[in-house]
């Protein structure tokens, strides 16, 4: 597997409250995108703390990954990290009310295990198809799921950024989990809503499939910025086919 990731503060925000990381271990990687809650104090602290704690637990995980119960580990670890962020928000007056979205994916050569809270997303892609595999924990996401709003109207709804569930805002918050294999798809995209509020799923698929791999992240960020760039923009692409550019870029 190869990967590429990038974060940009956008054209309007003075601070980047997003965070992203990819951590290798054995023949697997843990990829994480976190979007600190806009309009709340210390959103950047929440997103960075969530990633740092997940990375710490991942590197300390001693079981053999090929046989380990990775879905249970990821779910339990996100709950533990949620509680760490919550305790920080309660004990530090400067961090009161902070929170973050999280989408974390364990990628092995055979399987994908994804856990998420909030409206940062995960997509699976191949040359001809794409599939969003996370459901937004947002007001408009709930309205779509209950049939009160169409997907098309949701994309332009004035309250589409209202989050109903965010890591670190209450104790023992559980993530949604998604487990699959690479049989049908060969790429994973995880990203914050600064990207998905500006590009449709079809556009994301077309650019990722047709763009030189080393230019994917910058191409997507540039397009989101050209369309307003009101929010921070963060993404990571993991490619099972071993063709994505230098992970350090």
Query: 62: Cβ–Cβ under 8 A, 6 or more apart, which residues?
Result: none
Q: What are the strands, taking DSSP E only, across 14-167? A: 18-25, 28-35, 102-107, 111-117, 121-125, 130-132
pLDDT at residue 199 in the model: 96
| Terminal alpha carbon distance of the chain | 15
On the question of pLDDT at 102 being above 80, the answer is yes
On the question of pLDDT at 246 being above 50, the answer is no
Q: Which residues of 134-160 are buried (b: 16+ CB within 10 A; e: fewer)?
A: bebbbbbbbbbeeeebeeeebeebeeb
Pairwise CA distance, residues 15 & 102, whole Å: 18
On the question of pLDDT at 3 being above 50, the answer is yes
Reported as type and span, the H/E element at residue 239 is strand 233-239
pLDDT at residue 161 in the model: 67
For residue 152, what pLDDT band results from cuts at 50, 70 and 90? low
Pairwise CA distance, residues 2 & 47, whole Å: 24
On the question of pLDDT at 139 being above 70, the answer is no
- Overall average pLDDT of the 173-189 stretch: 96
Q: Which of 105, 104, 101 is nearest to 85 (CA)?
A: 101
**Can you give the pTM of this predicted structure?**
0.92
Q: Which of 151, 107, 158, 108 is nearest to 132 (CA)?
A: 151
- Overall average pLDDT of the 91-109 stretch: 94
* Residue range 182-237, pLDDT digits in tens: 999 999 999 999 999 999 999 999 999 999 888 999 999 999 999 999 999 999 99
């Amino acid at each position: 597997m190869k990967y590429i990731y990038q974060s940009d503060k956008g054209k309007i925000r003075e601070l980047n409250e997003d965070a992203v990381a990819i951590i290798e271990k054995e023949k697997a990687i843990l990829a994480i995108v976190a979007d600190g809650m806009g309009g709340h104090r210390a959103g950047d602290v929440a997103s960075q703390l969530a990633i740092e704690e997940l990375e710490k637990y991942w590197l300390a995980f001693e079981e053999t990954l090929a046989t380990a119960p990775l879905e249970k580990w990821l779910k339990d670890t996100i709950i533990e990290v949620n509680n760490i962020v919550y305790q920080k928000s309660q004990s530090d007056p400067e961090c009161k009310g902070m929170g973050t979205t999280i989408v974390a994916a364990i990628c092995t050569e055979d399987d994908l295990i994804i856990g998420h809270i909030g409206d940062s997303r995960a997509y699976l892609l191949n040359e001809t198809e794409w599939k969003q595999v996370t459901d937004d924990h947002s007001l408009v996401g709930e309205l779509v799921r209950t049939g009160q709003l169409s997907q098309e109207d949701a994309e332009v709804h004035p309250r589409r950024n209202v989050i109903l569930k965010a890591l670190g805002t209450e104790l023992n918050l559980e993530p949604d989990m998604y487990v699959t294999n690479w049989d049908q798809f060969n790429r994973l995209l995880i990203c914050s809503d600064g990207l998905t509020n500006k590009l449709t799923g079809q556009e994301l698929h077309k650019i990722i499939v047709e763009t030189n791999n080393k230019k994917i992240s910058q191409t997507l960020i540039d397009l989101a910025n050209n369309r307003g760039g009101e929010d921070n923009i963060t993404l990571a692409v993991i490619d099972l086919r071993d063709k994505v550019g230098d992970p350090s870029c």
